[in-house]
Structure 1
């Protein structure tokens, strides 16, 4: 049986992928929120470039926001993992109330959850979205 980890936090959430916006066939931009810098947009030109960025984010343990009324990045990445276009687990960020959030590892067939006292044990809380920008 697999054990997944989670941690609770309060106040401003860490930098996280808030949305994946596509414009046209495959180009678009990733929107990051949280942290102290405000929203950041990082463009991508193709589906392959998007997959490369998402892979980098998974490896860097950057949280993906879960959806509410519509699918969020965590849901979209989950589908890409299910379709074997990406490998996981990834880190999800969700809200439990005003200024209250949880980060958790996703893993197939998790039977138990273990609480960590510090969210930095699970997620990268200081990620810089500019590190994804490709050199021209």
Structure 2
């Protein structure tokens, strides 16, 4: 049995990928909400570049927001993992009420989540989304 971790929090959530906006068939932006609530957009030019960025976010322990009325980045990452384009457990950020959030590790073989008291034990608070930019 795999035991993964989760953290419940209130107020501003940690840095996370809030949405994936596609401006065409393949190009678009990864839209981040930073810990200070600012929004940052990082462009990708093609599907391969987007998948590479998402794999890096998984490796860097950056949470992906779940969707509400439409699929969110966590949903897309889950589909890409299921199709074999991405690998590894990832982090999912969801909301349980106004200003109440949960970050939890997601893996196919997860059966139990253990509480963690410090969000920095799960996420990477020093990750800089600008490092994804391809200039």
Q: TM-score range by the shorter chain?
A: over 0.9
**Runs of 4+ in structure 1 over 6 Å off:** none
Gaps of at least 5 residues in structure 2 are none
Q: For this pair of structures, how many residues does the alignment match?
A: 135
TM-score calculated relative to the size of structure 1: 0.94
1:35 — aligned with what?
Answer: 35
2:61 — aligned with what?
Answer: 61
> CA–CA distance in 1 between the matches of 2:5 and 2:80?
22
Q: Post-superposition shift, 1:109?
A: 2.4
Q: Post-superposition shift, 1:28?
A: 0.5
| 2:3 is aligned with 1:3 | yes
Measured against aligned partners, the alpha-carbon deviations of 1:13-72 in whole angstroms (never above 9, x if no partner) come to 111000011111210011001312600000000000001100110000000000111110
Name the Cα RMSD after superposition. Answer: 1.1
Gaps of at least 5 residues in structure 1 are none
- Would the aligned equivalents of 1:31 and 1:40 in 2 still touch at CA under 8 Å? yes
TM-score calculated relative to the size of structure 2: 0.95
